[in-house]
């Protein structure tokens, strides 16, 4: 099985990015583009119509979809205003819809006042107080059911605890937590009092945590004594201590949840236990009524530079995006048990764990651990045990579990499932078909959802009762989302299957508002092309003859490893920070399970190891990158060379390196290389 079957799709000849910006892909500028072909999936002709009984019960059928689209196309702003009035509970209703006067800093509904936590909790109390909000299952098998009333009380108590520790409106709070209900409680408590959370994925290293604490200017860190994953305890508090000992910024307080019972050091005056912080706190807390544009959270994501960017979202628009996509794409109903497997450290875990399901008054499942504990049937066992009806995960998980065969899922009763979803990377048709057949029993529609940290909510995806699906395509943009595939001039590509740039042509409510503390980077990265008219997603895509969108990959130096974004520069910076490394270049190569794997070329300060092999050093560099960034950034391959291949103007020839990493024939002109011998070294032949 190959993840992507190469089907050469010509890519426009273009030098897209200004060299000074952070989105430079040097190879794109320095090397001839007309030879460049991007991997894309084989032409896929299978079409899966929604089943009649699904259509009958669906919130949106084909006619409703057409009506929504007509409305959105004729009156874009009026359309969104109507959704915002219907879906959000306002403390003070808005009168202005979209303010473009400071574009590209768009503002939505900006004279409206509301609170996101109130929208997720309080408004359900009368009708659904006893309904289960969260079903939790820990890796070790412990389970909890939390009703809306209980969740509201716990959020209020923790919100009061935050206030008692001096946290107020606009303060940044870092969360570094395991996948337990308290992570959601902490997020909800922050937004309840108008504080801005920034969740750092528990798999990131102390170093990565430190960078985010400093960049956000955080006043508090909320963490745990640990979390269970893969049969081990992930020591979050120890990593927090290390991060804070290295940080130039001193936070006032660290709140520590007791999850594993593992002994941790507590620094007097700074650290306090969660259970002590909430003791004696009342279980009611008036929400902070904030403007629609009040910053809701920051979430750091990788770009083309070594420094992750803090994507900032705004309260009302973001929540509207999460709610509306829960309804349209997930067809959420009161009796659903919704399970999104994403960690709260990623945007998917924000929109479809911490906010979207709760804002819709749904019941959601949360699972703490690894999908392979105690065996590769854990996801299916959790689905069966808690009668999940909607299951949303990443292609990398599907591919990994598919490897274990059909027998394991067959041991579990998956009859409760009615809808499946994927996110994070293109899904190869083979994995799609397996998901459809073995998990969905050919009964459940699959929604392949394209979106980004920056977009806040799903943008391109099928509405399961209205749109026929094709394995590997995220299908059509949602109503009100004006997505297009354009050439280097910004003109729509009308010819089917011609690759181009994926852009969004009109602002949408859940869009990012800025990059925290880096205004310039916001403008350049997302609005730096096409005269600032369009939002540049950073992905290449094509549309087939039916107008279906097929995502082809990134156009910048961003890798997608297991559905997680990583900048090649980030990994390169980590490598050159090692005392023995002089230079490094990192590219992606296709991988069956993770989609892309990290392939690093390294030039050492001393001599190159004999034959290019030094197992101990290779292991040490892998460990080094893990401690600098996290395990997801660990290179799968490291090759040593005397120097890196460069163009006459000194740019690393990344396309050449990519071809080598993929084991492809070298078609690039290498006659300008000063040292042709390195070609053998790069290919691992010498």
Please report, as ranges, the residues that interact with ligand WTA according to CB under 6 A: 301, 346-348, 423-426, 448-453, 474, 537-539, 551, 554, 560, 565
Distance in Å, CB of 13 to ligand WTA, minimum: 22
CA distances from 6 to 9, 38, 157, 471, 668 (A): 9, 8, 55, 16, 18
Residue nearer to ligand WTA on the CB measure, 106 or 300: 300
Angle of CA points 466, 467, 470, to nearest 5°: 155
Q: What is the largest CA-CA distance in the chain?
A: 74
Residue nearer to ligand WTA on the CB measure, 450 or 516: 450
| Residues β-bridged to residue 542 | 550
Distance in Å, CB of 424 to ligand WTA, minimum: 5
H/E element, 375? none
Residue nearer to ligand WTA on the CB measure, 539 or 557: 539
Residue nearer to ligand WTA on the CB measure, 139 or 570: 570
Distance in Å, CB of 280 to ligand WTA, minimum: 40
Distance in Å, CB of 475 to ligand WTA, minimum: 10
**3-class SS of residue 637:** strand
Residue nearer to ligand WTA on the CB measure, 158 or 204: 204
Pairing of strands 419-423, 446-449: parallel
Distance in Å, CB of 660 to ligand WTA, minimum: 23
Distance in Å, CB of 158 to ligand WTA, minimum: 27
Residue nearer to ligand WTA on the CB measure, 285 or 537: 537
Residue nearer to ligand WTA on the CB measure, 368 or 556: 556
Residue nearer to ligand WTA on the CB measure, 226 or 321: 321
Distance in Å, CB of 433 to ligand WTA, minimum: 16
Residues 6+ apart with CB under 8 A from 661: 587, 588, 589, 599, 637
Residue nearer to ligand WTA on the CB measure, 138 or 500: 500
Distance in Å, CB of 686 to ligand WTA, minimum: 35
Distance in Å, CB of 282 to ligand WTA, minimum: 37
User: SS in 3 state form for 322-364?
Assistant: HHHHHHHCCCCCCCCEEEECCCCCCHHHHHHHHHHHHHCCCEE
Residue nearer to ligand WTA on the CB measure, 423 or 660: 423
Q: Give the DSSP letter of residue 436.
A: I
Question: Please, are residues 409 and 377 in contact by the beta-carbon 8 Å criterion?
Answer: yes
For residue 391 the two structure tokens come to 């299951």
Smallest Cα–Cα separation from 317: which of 523, 112, 524? Answer: 112
DSSP secondary structure string for all residues of 569-631: HHHHHHHHTSTTEEEEEEEEEEETTTEEEEEEEEEESSPPPGGG--HHHHHHHHHHHHHHTBG
Residue nearer to ligand WTA on the CB measure, 235 or 539: 539
Residue nearer to ligand WTA on the CB measure, 371 or 462: 462
Residue nearer to ligand WTA on the CB measure, 209 or 299: 299
Distance in Å, CB of 552 to ligand WTA, minimum: 9
Cβ-based neighbour number of residue 270 at 10 Å: 15
Distance in Å, CB of 650 to ligand WTA, minimum: 29
DSSP secondary structure string for all residues of 196-235: EEEE--TTB-HHHHHHHHHHHT-SEEEEES-EEETTEEE-
Helices (H), 90-205: 116-120, 125-128, 148-164, 181-192
Distance in Å, CB of 423 to ligand WTA, minimum: 5
Smallest Cα–Cα separation from 344: which of 333, 332, 358, 334? Answer: 358
**3-class SS of residue 187:** helix
Residues 6+ apart with CB under 8 A from 123: 89
H/E element, 242? helix 236-246
**3-class SS of residue 468:** coil
For residue 587 the two structure tokens come to 């590219």
Residue nearer to ligand WTA on the CB measure, 182 or 425: 425
Question: Please, are residues 418 and 54 in contact by the beta-carbon 8 Å criterion?
Answer: yes
Distance in Å, CB of 565 to ligand WTA, minimum: 5
Distance in Å, CB of 191 to ligand WTA, minimum: 20
The CA distance from 88 to 83, in Å, is 8
Question: Please, are residues 499 and 10 in contact by the beta-carbon 8 Å criterion?
Answer: yes
């Amino acid at each position: 099985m190959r993840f992507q079957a190469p089907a050469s799709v010509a890519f426009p000849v273009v030098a897209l990015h200004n060299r000074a910006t952070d989105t430079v892909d040097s190879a794109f500028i320095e090397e001839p583009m007309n030879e460049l072909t991007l991997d894309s999936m084989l032409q896929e002709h299978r079409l899966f119509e929604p089943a009649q009984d699904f259509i009958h019960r669906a919130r949106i059928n084909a006619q409703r979809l057409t009506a929504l689209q007509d409305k959105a196309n004729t009156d874009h702003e009026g359309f969104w205003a109507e959704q915002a009035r219907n879906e959000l509970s306002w403390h003070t209703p808005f009168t202005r819809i979209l303010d473009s006067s400071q574009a590209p800093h768009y503002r939505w509904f900006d004279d409206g006042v509301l609170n996101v936590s109130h929208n997720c909790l309080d408004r359900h109390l009368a009708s659904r107080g006893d309904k289960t909000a969260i079903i939790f299952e820990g890796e070790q098998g412990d389970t909890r059911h939390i009703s809306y009333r209980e969740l509201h009380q716990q959020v209020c108590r923790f919100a009061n605890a935050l206030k008692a520790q001096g946290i107020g409106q606009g303060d940044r709070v870092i969360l570094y937590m395991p996948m337990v209900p308290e992570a959601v409680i902490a997020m909800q408590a922050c937004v309840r009092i108008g504080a801005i959370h920034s969740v750092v994925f528990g798999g990131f290293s102390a170093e990565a945590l430190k960078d985010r604490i400093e960049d956000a200017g955080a006043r508090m860190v909320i963490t745990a004594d640990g979390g269970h994953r893969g049969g081990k305890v992930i020591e979050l508090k120890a990593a927090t201590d290390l991060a804070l000992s290295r940080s130039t910024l001193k936070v006032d307080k660290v709140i520590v949840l007791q999850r594993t019972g593992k002994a941790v050091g507590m620094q007097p005056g700074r650290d306090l236990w969660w259970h002590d912080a909430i003791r004696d706190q009342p279980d009611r807390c008036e929400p902070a009524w904030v403007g629609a544009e009040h910053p809701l959270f920051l979430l750091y994501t990788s770009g083309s530079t070594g420094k992750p960017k803090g994507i900032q979202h705004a309260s009302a628009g973001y929540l509207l995006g999460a709610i509306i996509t829960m309804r349209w794409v997930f067809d959420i109903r009161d009796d659903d048990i919704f399970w999104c497997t994403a960690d709260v450290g990623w945007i998917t875990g924000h929109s479809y764990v911490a906010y979207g399901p709760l804002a819709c008054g749904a019941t959601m499942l949360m699972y703490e651990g690894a999908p392979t504990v105690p065996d590769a049937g854990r996801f299916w066992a959790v689905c069966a045990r808690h009668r999940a009806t909607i299951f949303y995960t990443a292609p990398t998980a599907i591919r990994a579990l598919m490897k274990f065969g059909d027998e394991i899922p067959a041991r579990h009763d998956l009859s409760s499932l009615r809808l499946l979803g994927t996110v994070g990377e293109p899904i190869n048709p083979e994995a799609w078909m397996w998901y459809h057949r073995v998990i969905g029993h050919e009964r459940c529609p699959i929604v392949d959802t394209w979106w980004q940290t920056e977009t806040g909510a799903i943008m391109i995806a099928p509405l399961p009762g209205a749109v026929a699906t094709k394995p590997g395509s995220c299908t059509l943009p949602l109503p009100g989302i004006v997505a297009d595939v354009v050439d280097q001039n910004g003109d729509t590509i009308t010819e089917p299957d011609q690759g181009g740039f994926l852009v969004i042509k009109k602002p949408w409510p859940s869009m990012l508002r800025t990059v925290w503390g880096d205004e310039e980077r916001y403008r350049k990265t997302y609005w730096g092309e096409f005269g600032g008219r369009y939002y540049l997603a950073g992905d290449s895509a094509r549309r087939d003859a039916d107008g279906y969108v097929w995502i082809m990959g990134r156009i910048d130096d961003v890798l997608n490893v297991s559905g997680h974004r990583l900048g090649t520069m980030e990994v390169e910076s980590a490598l050159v920070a090692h005392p023995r490394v002089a230079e490094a270049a990192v590219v992606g190569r296709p991988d069956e399970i993770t989609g892309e794997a990290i392939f690093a070329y390294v030039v050492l300060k001393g001599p190159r190891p004999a034959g290019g092999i030094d197992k101990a050093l290779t292991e040490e560099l892998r460990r080094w990158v893990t401690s600098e960034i996290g395990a997801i950034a660990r290179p799968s391959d490291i090759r040593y060379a005397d120097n890196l291949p460069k163009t006459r103007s000194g740019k690393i020839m990344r396309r050449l390196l990519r071809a080598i990493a993929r084991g492809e024939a070298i078609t690039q002109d290498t006659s300008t290389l000063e040292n042709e011998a390195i070609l053998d070294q790069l290919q691992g032949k010498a």
